[in-house]
Amino acid sequence: MTVCVWGFVQRTGPGINWLIGSILLTLLILSAALVNGFISSARLADSLDHQEKTRLIRNYLEDGQLQLAHEQKAQVSWDDAFLAVGSGYDLDWADAYFGTYLWSNFKHGRLFLVRPDGVPIAVWRDGKRTALSRISDLQAEMPTLVEEINTNARLLDAPTSFLTLQDTRWPAAANGRPIARWAGRVISFEGKPALLAATSILPDAKFGLLTKTPNFLISVRPIDSVLLARMQEMLQLDGLEVRRELPSGAEKASVPITTTRHGRQIGHLVWNAQRPGAAIIKTTSPLLIALISYCMAAMLLVGMIFRRVRMTARELSASQAQAVHVALHDPMSDLPNRTNFQQALSVLLLDLAESQEDEGVIIAYIDIDRFKDVNDTLGHQAGDDLICLAAERLRLVLQPSDMLARFGGDEFVIMRRQNRVRGAISQIGATVMAAFQVPFTVMGHELDVTASCGIAWSPNHGTTVGELLRNADIALYQAKARGRGRWRAFTPDMDENLRARREIELELRRAIVENQLEMVYQPIFAARTGQISSLEALVRWHHPRLGIIAPDIFVPIAEQTGQMRMLGSWIMERVFEDQRYWPGVRTAINLSPVEITHSDFVARVAEMVDNRLVDPRKITFEITEGVLLDHSEKVLGILSALHALGFRIALDDFGTGYSSLSYLRRFEFDDIKIDRSFVRNIDRDPQAFHILKAIVGLGSSLGMNVVAEGVETESQNQRVTDAGCHNIQGFFHSQPVSRSEAIRLLGGKAGRARGLLRRAA
């Protein structure tokens, strides 16, 4: 073979020798570069993987310190705790509420109660108080730890002011509530690595109790097998353990554990290294060897030309196939896109039209609930990861013959060819719901994500692509309107409801511009005097063609279609103008969740106050607990800003949610309005009366005005009065009235007379 090749080279002359030599040299250089590139890429992959694992571990340890502080906060931010051990030394109290509670609920195995100068007061081990003589070597670090908290501490909330104490200035919220200081460290505890958190003990209601630097509670959590197991599961680190010495061998990866204060190395976190670089080398080495061998064999000019032609053809074919794939698939999830899905559905509908089989096609339109919240809180990368995880989850639960596509955003569509058997639609609906029953783990966060699904069926709900997708989309909208996390099958009346809703949407915009809306006011009476103490503003819509449209119909539409800002501004302007006619009483305005969380809401209200369009002392803003559920921190900040401007804040429909008491602790409402469900049966149900009386007592103890809503009978009026309600609202005293009627009622003693007449009736 060698002789034949040499003979061919001799006959073709020096030109071909130069060409073959040049090609051979080029191929040798290219082969060396490829080998070096693969090896460098493998090393880089190993390095990046280790850097990422190191970052995740350090973040996890920092989060563990913060978690300790948050677990302490529920016990240390408490008037009783402050009186007992924050400024006193009631160790029996501390045994129950610190030692036993934090051990039984959070496994805080080591607790230290420490004075502001760092001197320990008491020590608990596994929930039991032990002698101070048995305290560990941590005692030497306590003075510097407390000094760090007092001079450069981290805060569990954002301060807006500072309290001047006898020995320091203490951060506080706008309402004067002192904010907890804390510090966290990685330490060596009893010869082992451990996490530490120290938090100040503060009052939560009687802020004046804090006169000087309080005592601190220190918790220590060893980095033991339990913590390592959670870290291993969360960070996907196989064989995670703590070792004193640095491991040897390429099969193990490690991160040194150093103390926060001294930077002293106290051990290593060790896990089984994955070595993605080795996997890269193993996977690509056959290809690399084949490429080099093929290059060497290309010394023959004819073979080189032939190979080049064939490779060019292959590349063109692959490029064409890739272009077609990209055009018909979603690049993120690699699912078929809208164009691909519509083409397949069109072909299937034609096939079913010509088929004699009793078959149809089911279209399921899926939308992830509150997907925007994931993007807003965790970032768009988390949203992209959730989309891919949801696509994979749906692939697992669907039938192999089903077609799953992504239309964009968080929208998925399923197509299933199905015999017309009973329960087929409910089966696919239940399957989709089951796919979202298990929480998703996204970027180290466990997310309880639900989805809504709308289903349409051919031929009953349409015989074309457009009809089926439109009707499935309508059913999806109805599923979301019913509360999300459910599926709905399309029915013809849904289309009619959607048309009616769109008509109201268009008419509402015109109604606001043309002043078709009207403000009415329901008086609120003082229980003791019978006089009108305030008015609640209510909006009414008298449509010239559709008649009276209730607020519970058009207000949600305004919220969902972006008109709530305009509607809310219209209501506030009318109420502020009408308030001038009755300066002696306050007027209450209900705030929508969409309106209050708008970025410029506080600025608009502040501008009205600056321009003296309204006296904030005469206005009460009412919010329901539902406003706080999704954006509690943001809303509480907005309410504090409104309070600072001088407005009163009322918690409406009190008692209907699970977190009402929690919100009373977190914000000083001026008024609480007891929901009408507590009043409805108060004259027949003794328990309802006792509950109402307890709510009144709670509100009075917190300095809040209590209003009973929905009083419609003399008996109910008497019972809420006996329960101690400060104010009463309901049809028994007065229905909502127009502005002119409100002016008449408020004139002279008419307000009181009206109430007395209603009682007599």
In this structure, are 514 and 604 located in the same domain?
A: yes
Q: What is the DSSP letter of 261?
A: T
CB-based contact 617:587 (threshold 8 Å): no
Supply the CATH number for residue 115's domain: 3.30.450
Residue 9 banded pLDDT, cuts 50, 70, 90? very low
Of 634 and 122, the one with more pLDDT: 122
Whether residues 587 and 672 share a domain: the answer is: yes
From CA 158, how far away is CA 160, in angstroms rounded?
7
Is 636 in a helix, a strand, or coil?
helix
Tokens of 191: 């010869």
Residue 713 sits in the same domain as residue 564: yes
3-state secondary structure 452-520: EEEEEEECCCCCCHHHHHHHHHHHHHHHHHCCCCCEEECCHHHHHHHHHHHHHHHHHHHHHHCCCEEEE
Q: Following CA atoms 124, 128, 129, 131 in sequence, which dihedral angle do they give, to the nearest 10 degrees?
A: -90
Contacts of 721 (CB under 8 A, 6+ apart): 527, 728
Instruction: Kindly state the tokens that stand for 673.
Output: 């309005």
Average pLDDT for 338-352: 91
pTM of the model: 0.45
C-alpha span between 519 and 496 (Å, rounded): 30
Give me the amino acid identity at 257: I
615-619 average pLDDT score: 93
Tell whether 68 is covered by a domain: no
Q: Is residue 11 part of a domain?
A: yes
Among 596, 639, 646, smallest CA distance to 617 is for 646
Q: Which range marks the domain in which residue 405 is found?
A: 338-490
**Contact residues for 440 (Cβ-Cβ < 8 A; gap 6+):** 386, 389, 390, 393, 446, 447, 449
Token pair, residue 87, equals 């400024």
What is the DSSP pairing of strand 532-543 with strand 705-708? unpaired
pLDDT tens digits along 321-338: 777 888 888 888 889 999
Q: Where residue 738 falls among pLDDT bands split at 50, 70, 90?
A: very high
419 by DSSP, 3-state: which?
A: strand
Q: Is the pLDDT of residue 445 over 60?
A: yes
3-state helix, strand, coil in the chain (%, to 5): 50, 20, 25
| pLDDT-derived band at 708, boundaries 50, 70, 90 | very high
Residue 233 belongs to a domain:
no
Query: Is the pLDDT assigned to residue 751 strictly greater than 50?
Result: no
Mean pLDDT of all residues in 13-24 = 58
Radius of gyration of the chain from Cα atoms? Answer: 36
In this predicted structure, which of 261-275, 281-295, 612-626 has the lowest mean pLDDT? 281-295
More confident residue, 557 or 739: 739
**Do residues 216 and 316 both lie within one domain?**
no
Containing 567, the helix (H) or strand (E) segment is helix 564-579
Does 189 reside within a domain?
Answer: yes
The verdict on 637 and 691 lying in the same domain is: yes
Q: Domain tally for the chain?
A: 4
The residue type at 201? I
Together in a domain, 579 and 656: yes
Residue 143 lies in a domain: yes
Instruction: Using alpha carbons, select from 731, 723, 719, 725 the residue that is nearest to residue 755.
Output: 731
- Mean pLDDT across the chain: 83
**Residues 551 and 458 grouped into a single domain:** no
Pair 658, 628: CB distance under 8 Å: no
Cβ pair 112, 136 in contact under 8 A: no
* 460 and 531 share one domain: no
User: pLDDT band at 300, cuts 50/70/90?
Assistant: low
- 646 in Cβ contact with 616 (< 8 Å): yes
pLDDT in tens, 235-252: 888 888 888 888 776 678
Residue 222 falls in which region: left (phi positive, over 0), alpha (psi -120 to 50) or beta: beta
453, 568: one domain: no
Highest mean pLDDT among 54-58, 296-300, 400-404: 400-404
Last residue of a domain, one of 328, 354, 369: 328
CA 88, 92, 93, 95 torsion-angle sign: positive
Which residues partner with 200 through β-bridges?
216
Q: For residue 241, is it within any domain?
A: no
- In tens, the pLDDT along 56-105 reads 888 888 888 888 888 888 888 889 989 999 888 899 999 999 989 999 88
The two tokens of residue 339 are 């164009």
What does the block give as tokens for 302? Answer: 């004819």
- Both 356 and 462 in one domain: the answer is yes
Q: How confident is the model at residue 12 (pLDDT cuts 50, 70, 90)?
A: very low
Which range is least confidently modeled, 493-497, 517-521, 626-630, 731-735?
626-630
The enclosing domain of 390 has a CATH number of 3.30.70.270
Query: Which residue's structure tokens are 């004075």?
Result: 115
Q: 620: domain CATH number? A: 3.20.20.450
93 is a domain residue: yes
Is pLDDT larger for residue 498 or for residue 375?
375
The continuous run of DSSP H or E covering 60 comes out as: helix 2-76
* Residue 183: closest CA among 156, 140, 159, 153: 153
CA torsion angle 317 323 324 325 (round to 10): 110
**Do 598 and 680 sit in the same domain of this protein?**
yes
Could you say which of 265, 298, 328 is where a domain stops? 328
Name the DSSP class of 655: T
**pLDDT score, position 663:** 67
Residues 696 and 756 in one domain: yes
- Residue 223's contacts (CB-CB under 8 Å, 6 or more residues apart) are 192, 193, 194, 195, 242, 257
Residue 585 inside a domain? The answer is yes
Q: What is the end-to-end Cα distance of the chain in Å, rounded?
A: 121
Once rounded to an integer, what is the mean pLDDT over residues 496-508? 75
φ, ψ for residue 25 (rounded to 5)? -60, -40
pLDDT > 90? residue 589:
yes
Cβ-proximal residues to 541 (8 Å cutoff; 6+ apart), any chain: 508, 511, 516, 517, 518, 548, 549, 551, 554
Last residue of a domain, one of 462, 490, 518: 490
